[in-house]
Structure 1
Amino acid sequence: MQTVTMPANDVENIHKNDLDLLSPQSGDVYLVAYPKAGVTWMTEIVTAIYREYATENRNLGKEFGNAVRAHAFCDVCPMARRRNANNQNKMNKNVVGFDANGKEVYENDEEKRRRIISLHFPLKRMEKMMPEVFIDDAVKLIYVARNPKDIAVSYYHFHCMNEALPTPESWEQFLDDFVKGYVRWGSCLEHMREWNKKQHDLDATGKHGQLLWLTFESLKKDLKGAMRLICNYLGLNLSDRGLANVVNRCTFASMKADPKRNHSSNTIFKSDFLRKGKVGDWKTKFTVEQNINFNKFMARELENNFSRLRLQDDEL
């Protein structure tokens, strides 16, 4: 596989219709994760929470039920925003995102909508390009971490099935590139480590509600409990029935069975976008030697402080 790194010039790597996503608005929720750590899942969760909240609070208008979802840096996310070249009635306006039903939302849309914006930004890039996110209390951040071994395996398979990405020469070569950070979005462990430090720094300055840290593993272990935590963080109350509806909609099986959420019509993918969604799938790919070496790598990069990242030793 050819080594892939992000361009040095941030702006060159952003489509023009992504620039507005880097200007936070009151009520925005930014979902951040390294690729294949769970940002797609978290997008579905927040969307479902908003949708159910709108159903239970119809007096609030449509801003939650009609929330727009978008992904910044769509040049490395081909299923994200794009120019509509076919619908003449829309005068070829840019697609700025999608609503909860998967319908395209066009630029200059006049409807009031909450924005759910997912991205893979490393912390330094986020601080450089949109520092307001860490200042405005009306903007929320949710970070999703995952066992780096499971990320490596999932990212490898994603390269194998995605025609927009270089096909790996082998699992061994991809793992070597992954460890060295020679993949899109750079080092996975640095990504998680820096964002975790940011959360602690924000807490230390009294901004406890600015960044919610979650793990893929915690979502798998107790999805309902995690959703209740997310609701509290966003200041939204759902009934037990509403919460159950959200949980049922956001199980991996439910998402995988839905062609829209599994992106089945996207010809750029040679197989299902949603593959397994399991904890510990790394065990099917890592050799004993690879596991030993990777553990040493994690111990060095994370300074043996797995608990601070809220990843348990038995998950690693």
Structure 2
Amino acid sequence: METSRKTFVGLVDKAIAAANSMRRDELLFSYKGTLYPRTLYSPETFKALESFEARSDDVILAGYPKSGTNWLSQILTDLIAISQKKTRSRESSVNAEELEVFPYLEVGDAEKYERMAKLPSQRFMVTNLRPENLPKSIFKNNAKILLLIRNPKDVATSYFHFSKGVATLPTYETWDDFFRDFMTKKTAWGCYLEYLSEWNKYADKENIMTVTYEEVKENPALSVKNIATFFGIPLTEEEFQLVVERSSFQAMKKNSDKTHGSFGDVLFRKGAVSDWKNLFSEDQSEKMDKAFEERIAGTKLGKKLKYDLYCKA
């Protein structure tokens, strides 16, 4: 996976360099009503994505930014590497490395999907998109999707700190300013509660497994076992322990300069649950509570989030 890491670091460093020369109001653009970072996404790539042909054995991780996708990516990358080592010859593994592409499905150049078509199975991809913006082939071909969700107050908190540390997003002077925009769909990737509401429509499908950031944090070993089972990847005890150890927050933060370059320190900040209590005012907490109640409470995903446990003071 060394080539993949170099691709990741190179693309992110290039995006950051480009963003440094742009004004704040130039950093985002709108596509189909949602804002995206201009130096990472493009209308041309979104258009090309529509005709992407998914496979039934694709491994897809779906999650809103700052819900833990980099963490789960580590787990899935290791699981797939173990699976491919058992089923693929050394020569084909080298060829796969040469074709490696940036793992985020919608990020990069519009020609990336031609390269992805040449990749051997199992292909791994991550997406921050809502389901209606994904290629129809993903659902038509029943590709397996691991849907990662996190309590909305911690998502907002982590997003705020992230926006202060990365040039590709507008920086906010205060938490109050950020919270206002986050709640009114003026931040990149759109409204998180709408994201949850749209994905909830797919929550009962057999090819989709939903996990929460909090449950993986509470019992990472059980989560790794369940994820491996869902994707049909058998593990020896030694392999299982290695995946669990490599995906710990401490291990990933220590190795972040190699895996994510200058992005690493920003991505792996705390990895905590309930950090929202350090930022939210009582009024802001009540506003989020009300919005959650109106949009997602009572649904399958809403119940799985255990909102009262993680989002009530």
Residue 32 of structure 1 aligns with which residue?
62
CA distance in 2, matches of 1:41, 1:18: 28
CA distance in 1, matches of 2:122, 2:47: 18
Residue 274 of structure 1 aligns with which residue?
268
Residues 1:197 and 2:201 are matched in the alignment? yes
Residues 1:249 and 2:253 are matched in the alignment? no
The answer as to whether partners of 2:31 and 2:43 remain within 8 angstroms in 1 is: yes
Residues 1:299 and 2:299 are matched in the alignment? no
Letter in 2 for 1:122: R
Letter in 1 for 2:140: I
The answer as to whether partners of 1:199 and 1:211 remain within 8 angstroms in 2 is: yes
Residue 76 of structure 2 aligns with which residue?
46
The answer as to whether partners of 1:146 and 1:215 remain within 8 angstroms in 2 is: yes
SS of structure 1 residue aligned to 2:62: strand
CA distance in 1, matches of 2:126, 2:116: 20
The answer as to whether partners of 2:131 and 2:199 remain within 8 angstroms in 1 is: yes
CA distance in 2, matches of 1:239, 1:40: 24
Gap change, CA 1:122 and 1:16, over 3 Å in 2? closer
Residues 1:151 and 2:148 are matched in the alignment? no
Letter in 2 for 1:273: L
Residues 1:114 and 2:129 are matched in the alignment? no
SS of structure 2 residue aligned to 1:198: coil
Residue 70 of structure 1 aligns with which residue?
103
Q: Under a length normalisation based on structure 2, what TM-score does the superposition of the two structures give?
A: 0.76
Cα distance, 1:19 vs. partner? 3.7
SS of structure 2 residue aligned to 1:70: coil
The answer as to whether partners of 1:223 and 1:247 remain within 8 angstroms in 2 is: yes
Cα distance, 1:64 vs. partner? 8.0
Letter in 1 for 2:268: L
Cα distance, 1:152 vs. partner? 0.3
The answer as to whether partners of 1:32 and 1:119 remain within 8 angstroms in 2 is: yes
Residues 1:181 and 2:185 are matched in the alignment? yes
Gap change, CA 1:288 and 1:109, over 3 Å in 2? closer
CA distance in 2, matches of 1:248, 1:280: 23
Residues 1:131 and 2:111 are matched in the alignment? no
Residue 89 of structure 1 aligns with which residue?
none
Residues 1:7 and 2:31 are matched in the alignment? yes
Letter in 2 for 1:248: E
SS of structure 1 residue aligned to 2:146: strand
Give 1 or 2: higher helix fraction. Answer: 2
Higher relative contact order (CA 8 A, sep 6+): 2
Q: Under a length normalisation based on structure 1, what TM-score does the superposition of the two structures give?
A: 0.76
Cα distance, 1:232 vs. partner? 1.0
Cα distance, 1:294 vs. partner? 1.5
Cα distance, 1:144 vs. partner? 0.4
Residue 88 of structure 1 aligns with which residue?
none
The answer as to whether partners of 2:57 and 2:121 remain within 8 angstroms in 1 is: no
Q: Residues 156-194 of structure 1, C-alpha deviation per residue, up to 9 Å, x if partnerless?
A: 111111111111132101111111121111110110122
Q: Residues 69-106 of structure 1, C-alpha deviation per residue, up to 9 Å, x if partnerless?
A: 611332xxxxxx469xxxxxxxxxx7x59xxxxxxxx9
Cα distance, 1:43 vs. partner? 1.3
CA distance in 2, matches of 1:38, 1:118: 11
CA distance in 2, matches of 1:110, 1:250: 29
SS of structure 2 residue aligned to 1:277: coil
Residue 89 of structure 2 aligns with which residue?
61
Gap change, CA 1:12 and 1:242, over 3 Å in 2? closer
CA distance in 2, matches of 1:147, 1:252: 18
CA distance in 2, matches of 1:219, 1:18: 34
Q: Residues 190-241 of structure 1, C-alpha deviation per residue, up to 9 Å, x if partnerless?
A: 10122122122x3xxxxx2x11111111110111111111111111110122
Q: Residues 86-135 of structure 1, C-alpha deviation per residue, up to 9 Å, x if partnerless?
A: xxxxxxxx7x59xxxxxxxx948966353111111112212xxx112112
The answer as to whether partners of 1:34 and 1:120 remain within 8 angstroms in 2 is: yes
- Unaligned 5+ segments in structure 2 are 1-23, 35-40
Q: Residues 4-47 of structure 1, C-alpha deviation per residue, up to 9 Å, x if partnerless?
A: 56323899524389749932134211211111111211211111
CA distance in 1, matches of 2:261, 2:122: 26
SS of structure 1 residue aligned to 2:186: coil
The answer as to whether partners of 1:147 and 1:311 remain within 8 angstroms in 2 is: yes
Residue 169 of structure 1 aligns with which residue?
173
Letter in 2 for 1:171: W
